[in-house]
Structure 1
């Protein structure tokens, strides 16, 4: 049996095939963990910088586009001024003495009842923002008269929005670009929904704009709701939980109007809080005043009846006359006792009304802003350049892959 000797040409072709095959490197399993360490994965920053430099035109175009957009927004946005105020509400009841606390705690057990009364409810400061943003509050606030430059005299916020305010080029750009889908959805929705005229056909007494029925149901038209929504967006009420400060801020395109509207917000909020907290005490005061009038009338009638009886019976010679005299005197004393008690209760209620009246300390009163709050042009330009840089880098490193992916999706 003889071994076959390969032909030289055959061995030569086999060596060519081996050289054309890719080299395969085998990693021992025990060294796999060492090979997967982060040290083996390095980033070639020189190559990255070289790629950015070669395709720098993409980066420059992206920065230029976003910088131009930022400059357009910074220049053509409506200048806004923000007026703010800081308040400390003092709406809690006065602290009770130790005797009052003991009487309130053990009064029912001792059979003397609750002599100290029940503390009236108060509005917590965390609900101030909810009150300000409520529709009844906004309905009252929209009629505030404001001062604007280049406008003679004062006008209401509603008058300003309907007759003087105009959309800036930036607002128009947002409406017909980013806000175009929402604009189309609202337009289509308005076609298939009933308007105010259709509502008034079914409820003729509602014709003539906003009304308020006897059950305090506020009805507003769509235009009025849009105005109120715009007014809400200009007001901000926040509470600092740590120190209890209430921060009130109003943004308007005029500094004087911003300060006047913020002052109206603060004063109307004080009025709402005061009315709510004193509502029960005022009802008690009205009831006590009516009771005083009735008890005073009864006392005067009893006193007049006793005087008339004494005038007619100067000499009480009979037992019947003496009994009648005692009865009239008892009625007079009873009427006087009721009148005296009600009078004392009335004075206590008046004192309670003053004690429970909430107060607000103005740490920082409403001020007229001297500088505009928006647009912040330097910050806007910096953000535009940063976004343009990031977008340009994404375009450099992932532009081709993204384009291939889009083409592949189109073929599918």
Structure 2
């Protein structure tokens, strides 16, 4: 019974405290409204100061090389569990899970610098590098905060890069490294481990630039993987073509020697002439057989290149976005308004009473000092 009475009394005290807090806030409702309005105004300033960002997303399903020793049922069970066994295949080292690393690599990123893009509003034509350097806008507070660092960088950088200097992926300049990092923040790739569907996301401040660059990234990624998958087959094809050309030349020469000999020795019945004729005929036959074999090897190599060429199914193609992905103006407005309300409530309930107590203590201390001085 005593415990129940204690619990009831504690609950009543908590209710009284909450009512007192609510009454205190209600008395200061005008102040809360002013602070909330100021927060809303500041939120609007922030929301309209952030440049619009447009996102383009492309989804493609790549053809994954089958692992001969993996086992179909085991691979299916692993896929259901969220794991992919395609990486264990020795035939294909660049499997879909490595596509994000390929997209974010320095050679792949720098290869996008020269991509030609066109802005949607004014129709300016430029490269991606020029767009990043000249067209990307930042909020005013970023410009103000970054101004001292730009001045320090300008003072420290005495050596200006020579015009027409070729880009070196092995040794990037500070400016080129900054462009690579900026582009990596705007271009990303992700892979669904269950379905191996690759998603390419590109965020830009111009919708047309975003769509064009996303389509280019997909094409470059397909080209990269295709070159890797068909590299050995293409080398074998080049070698087979070289052998075929040499065999063809040897066959034509042997055939011409045999024909010339028949023209010069027509009608002769000597055994030596017959022997030479048989020898030249055999050489021409052997040369033809070798030429025929190399021609078959060329056809096999061409078929191998076609077999190793991956096929991609574009699930979601690149389209020009209509609406901006960010900023979320409504969310920013609500967030700043709520923060201003909470800050004002904290000031009223916590900080203001503490300041008043502190002032009272100072006043009491001053009065004591005055009384002590008067007594002395």
TM-score (structure 1 length as normaliser) = 0.68
Deviation at 1:271, TM superposition (A): 1.7
Counterpart selection for 1:300 from 223, 238, 252:
252
Q: Secondary structure at the match of 1:351?
A: helix
2:163 corresponds in structure 1 to 208
CA distance in 2, matches of 1:164, 1:336: 64
The one-character-per-residue Cα deviations of 1:271-330 (angstroms, maximum 9, x if unpaired) are 222222222211111111111101111112222222333333443523x44444443333
CA distance in 1, matches of 2:109, 2:199: 18
CA change 1:218–1:384 in 2 (3 A) is same
Q: Secondary structure at the match of 1:141?
A: coil
Q: Secondary structure at the match of 1:79?
A: coil
2:106 corresponds in structure 1 to 135
CA change 1:389–1:333 in 2 (3 A) is farther
CA change 1:227–1:145 in 2 (3 A) is same
CA change 1:60–1:211 in 2 (3 A) is same
1:76 paired with 2:49, answer yes
Deviation at 1:378, TM superposition (A): 1.6
1:148 paired with 2:119, answer yes
2:20 corresponds in structure 1 to 50
User: Contact 1:196–1:221 at 8 Å: present in 2 too?
Assistant: no
Structure 1 runs not aligned, ≥5 long: 1-33, 97-117, 201-206, 405-412
1:339 corresponds in structure 2 to 291
CA distance in 1, matches of 2:141, 2:23: 34
Deviation at 1:376, TM superposition (A): 1.0
CA distance in 2, matches of 1:298, 1:62: 94
1:228 paired with 2:198, answer no
Q: Secondary structure at the match of 2:51?
A: coil
User: Contact 2:97–2:196 at 8 Å: present in 1 too?
Assistant: no
Larger mean Cα displacement after TM superposition, 390-399 or 378-387: 390-399
2:61 corresponds in structure 1 to 88
CA change 1:150–1:363 in 2 (3 A) is closer
User: Contact 1:89–1:358 at 8 Å: present in 2 too?
Assistant: yes
Larger mean Cα displacement after TM superposition, 358-367 or 86-95: 86-95
CA distance in 1, matches of 2:278, 2:247: 20
2:191 corresponds in structure 1 to 239
Mapping of residues 152-301 of structure 1, within 5 Å = 152-167=123-138, 171-176=139-144, 180=145, 196-197=159-160, 207-211=162-166, 217-301=169-253
Q: Secondary structure at the match of 1:44?
A: helix
Q: Secondary structure at the match of 2:229?
A: helix
User: Contact 1:209–1:221 at 8 Å: present in 2 too?
Assistant: no
CA change 1:331–1:66 in 2 (3 A) is farther
User: Contact 1:148–1:254 at 8 Å: present in 2 too?
Assistant: yes
Larger mean Cα displacement after TM superposition, 50-59 or 76-85: 50-59
CA distance in 1, matches of 2:155, 2:175: 16
1:376 corresponds in structure 2 to 328
User: Contact 2:258–2:277 at 8 Å: present in 1 too?
Assistant: yes
CA distance in 2, matches of 1:60, 1:284: 77
What is the root-mean-square deviation in Å for CA atoms of aligned residues?
Answer: 3.7
CA distance in 1, matches of 2:23, 2:165: 64
CA distance in 2, matches of 1:173, 1:402: 34
Structure 2 runs not aligned, ≥5 long: 70-88, 357-376
Mapping of residues 342-353 of structure 1, within 5 Å = 342-353=294-305
CA distance in 2, matches of 1:334, 1:401: 108
Deviation at 1:364, TM superposition (A): 1.5
CA distance in 2, matches of 1:240, 1:229: 24
Q: Secondary structure at the match of 2:305?
A: helix
User: Contact 2:67–2:91 at 8 Å: present in 1 too?
Assistant: no
CA change 1:387–1:324 in 2 (3 A) is farther
CA distance in 2, matches of 1:71, 1:63: 12
The one-character-per-residue Cα deviations of 1:22-60 (angstroms, maximum 9, x if unpaired) are xxxxxxxxxxxx89x998965714313423542557765
User: Contact 1:94–1:355 at 8 Å: present in 2 too?
Assistant: no
